[in-house]
A = this chain, B = another copy of it.
Amino acid sequence: MSVKRQVLRAEVQEMILDRLTQGSWRPGARLSIDGLARDLDVSPTPVREALVALERSGLIRYQALKGYVVAEPLTPQQIAELIDARVVIETAAMTRAFAHWEELTADLVEAHAAHQALADRIAETDEPPYELIHEYFLADAAFHEAIFRHAGNRFLDSMRETIHAHAHRMRQTWSAGPGQIDSAEAIAEHAAVLARVQERNHDGALQTLRTHLEAVGERSGGMQEAAQE
């Protein structure tokens, strides 16, 4: 058992990332280095490093001599491009993951069960707390991650990570809006993908996966419009 060797920078980064994904700050809000340092009771140095790292993830923007701000939500155009890019890499990952079909199937079944369980809990709750919603999104993402895990290509996987941060920016739009979480649709679409995988139907799996992603884009666009009103 190795000792956890972490530095303050990592903790600070985690902390800020949490607040970003919780939506504690509105898009466009300024992230003051000194302010964050005071708030977290550390010096500005680790904060600066954490912000540089977060900037590269796309969640925040940086302007020289002015500071960092929370990235604006994705425009409909950007959402369309994001979905398009996801279709490209996720279908590619699916194709490669079929080489390890047994393990893929097992993992997807497990991930889908966890996803469904969380969806059920949310459906039973009138006003689901943030923690639950956060867990739900993680479970949703885990289903897609499983595909990449068996694709055996670390570069495709790193692209998935890049996409992941932006996918959050997409979700944030509708969390703010009046719309409900799309758990019913997402579960149904994941189930369809899983069914094709279990049948070892490669082309069908690609097709249902593509359909699912495009539906996510559609829903997101719709919710965004609703949120704007």
A residues within 8 Å of B by Cβ? 5-7, 10, 45, 48-49, 52-53, 55-58, 64-65, 78, 81-82, 84-85, 88-89, 92, 96, 152-156, 158-159, 162-163, 166
Contacts and interface: CB of A to CB of B under 8 A. Distances in A.
> Which of A6, A53, A78, A159 is packed against the most chain B CB atoms within 10 Å?
A159
B52 A153 contact: no
- The main secondary structure of chain A at its interface with chain B is helix
Contacts of A152: 81
A64 B155 contact: no
Nearest to A155: B85
A84 B53 CA distance: 27
Contact of A64 (B10, B81, B92): B10
In this complex, the member of A52, A96, A156 whose beta carbon has the largest number of chain B beta carbons within 10 angstroms is: A52
Contacts of A85: 153, 155-156, 159
A81 B157 CA distance: 11
Contacts of A84: 96, 153, 155-156
A134 to B, nearest CB: 24
Given A53-B53, A84-B156, 5 more contacts: A5-B64, A5-B65, A45-B45, A82-B155, A89-B89
23 contacts: A5-B64, A5-B65, A6-B64, A7-B64, A48-B49, A49-B52, A52-B52, A52-B53, A53-B55, A58-B158, A78-B154, A81-B155, A81-B156, A82-B155, A84-B155, A84-B156, A85-B153, A88-B89, A88-B92, A88-B156, A89-B89, A159-B162, A162-B162
A162 B158 contact: yes
A63 B152 CA distance: 25
A56 B49 CA distance: 12
A162 B85 CA distance: 14
